[in-house]
Amino acid sequence: MTNATLITDRAQPAVRLERDLPDPPEVVWAALTERERLREWFPCDVIVDGGEWRVGAAISFPFPAEVIEMTLSGEVLAVAEPRELAFSWGEETLRFELTPRDGGTRLVLVDELPAASAARNAAGWDTCLDRLAGREPAADSWRERFAAYGAAFAPELGPQEGPPAGYKGDG
């Protein structure tokens, strides 16, 4: 597990995760912005209106029906290829920052979110970023991560919520 850190010095709390990836920023950028590549690691489909990542573009995020009957909406907030991508994801804001590092890329993900979902999302993003890095996490790893993050974040943020109602996945 890569430890997510909690950020509380802003209007809405956030979790911050990092990964050092072997590919250069241009390759990682493609994994963040190409629909087929996103399907390999992101928790749902990502459909950008008009197919172009531009500030103000609408985004829909339909989840697989076998996981949950839910579609989130969002908007592209920042695009600076291949360094920064930010968008809203339902009531959250996701910001990806890419920095060249030792021939590869340091990826930083900051998820601004409701306080009660910090542990759930940190555990989920840990799992997703493992997939992005080419590592398939153990089937039950989300639960272990959620328990650890819940214990770490609850003293500052209060009780942490598990999966949303209607969730049919294993996390």
Inter-residue contact 129 to 41 (CB < 8 Å): yes
What integer pLDDT is reported at residue 56 of this predicted model?
A: 98
Q: What is the pLDDT along the chain (171 residues), one digit of tens a residue?
A: 468 999 999 999 999 999 999 999 999 999 999 999 999 999 999 999 999 999 999 999 999 999 999 999 999 999 999 999 999 999 999 999 999 999 999 999 999 999 999 999 999 999 999 999 999 888 888 999 999 999 999 999 999 999 988 888 765
CA distance 97 to 18: 9
What integer pLDDT is reported at residue 2 of this predicted model?
A: 60
Give CA torsion, residues 97, 99, 105, 108, to 10 deg.
-30
Give Cβ neighbours of residue 143 (< 8 Å, ≥ 6 apart).
123, 171
pTM, two decimals, is 0.95
Domains of the chain: 5-157 (3.30.530.20)
Distances (CA, A) of 103 to 6, 37, 73, 89, 158: 28, 21, 35, 31, 41
What integer pLDDT is reported at residue 168 of this predicted model?
A: 83
What integer pLDDT is reported at residue 170 of this predicted model?
A: 66
